[in-house]
């Protein structure tokens, strides 16, 4: 019987769910509100963690350099839906002073909802395009941040229009004008 090479008998590594967040703020160039985010790097996180976003580096995993942002603005929490083999995420507004718009759904303080696979989240002048790419692992997931140079609400951004309601389903075909590419 031939000997197995190292890669043949090694455990198969599970793919991780990747949660990509494209960020936009109109004054990013002048104020560097996203300077604390590491763009284009994937960060591996435990699915047992609640990920907080806000102004306070002592309370939040991801911070924004802006006094208009609450110390803790919102959180993302991974979870597993019944009868689903992949991670899902819920978003919760933790700001007492600012509502969070998820698509066109307004979340007040402590309101939460499940995030669809692709949607726009907004508060103040901040815009986040949140996109989830499913993986196999339930133990870990990855985050990846991308800096947008223009508003995420522009129809042709990233070649995939986000409807006015802010939600998009990757399972639905989108019609493209033949002149777009």
CA 172, CA 116: separation in Å to the nearest integer?
Answer: 13
Contact 93, 110 (CB under 8 A): yes
pLDDT tens over the chain, length 181 residues = 555 554 454 456 789 999 999 999 999 989 999 999 999 999 999 999 999 999 999 999 999 999 999 999 999 999 999 999 999 999 999 999 999 999 989 999 999 999 999 999 999 999 999 999 999 999 999 999 999 999 998 754 444 555 444 444 443 333 334 443 3
- pLDDT for the residue 2: 53
- pLDDT for the residue 14: 85
Q: Is 49 exposed, middle or buried (0-12, 13-18, 19+ CB in 10 A)?
A: middle
- pLDDT for the residue 154: 79
Q: For 16-148, CATH number?
A: 2.60.200.20
- pLDDT for the residue 167: 47
Return the biggest CA–CA distance within the chain: 69
For residue 18, CA distances in Å to 42, 59, 77, 127, 148 come to: 8, 23, 14, 19, 18
- DSSP state for residue 45 in the 8-state scheme: E
Of 140, 146, 145, nearest to 44 by C-alpha is: 140
Q: Token pair 């007040």 is at which residue?
A: 108
Residue ranges of the domains in the chain? 16-148
């Amino acid at each position: 019987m031939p000997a197995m090479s190292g890669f043949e008998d090694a455990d198969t590594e599970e793919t991780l769910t990747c949660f990509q967040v494209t960020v936009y703020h109109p004054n990013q160039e002048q104020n560097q509100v996203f300077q604390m985010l590491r763009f284009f790097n994937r960060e591996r996180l435990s699915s047992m963690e609640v990920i907080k976003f806000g102004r306070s580096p002592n309370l939040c995993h991801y911070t924004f350099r802006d006094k208009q942002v609450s110390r803790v603005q919102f959180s993302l929490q991974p979870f597993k839906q019944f009868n689903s083999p992949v991670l899902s995420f819920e978003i919760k507004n933790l700001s007492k002073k600012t509502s969070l718009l998820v698509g066109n759904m307004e979340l007040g303080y402590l309101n939460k909802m499940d995030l669809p696979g692709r949607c726009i989240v907004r508060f103040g002048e901040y815009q986040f395009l949140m996109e989830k790419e499913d993986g196999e692992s339930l133990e870990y997931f990855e985050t990846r941040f991308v800096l947008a140079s223009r508003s995420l609400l522009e129809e042709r951004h990233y070649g995939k229009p986000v409807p006015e309601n802010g939600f998009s389903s990757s399972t639905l075909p989108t019609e493209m004008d033949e002149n777009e590419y």
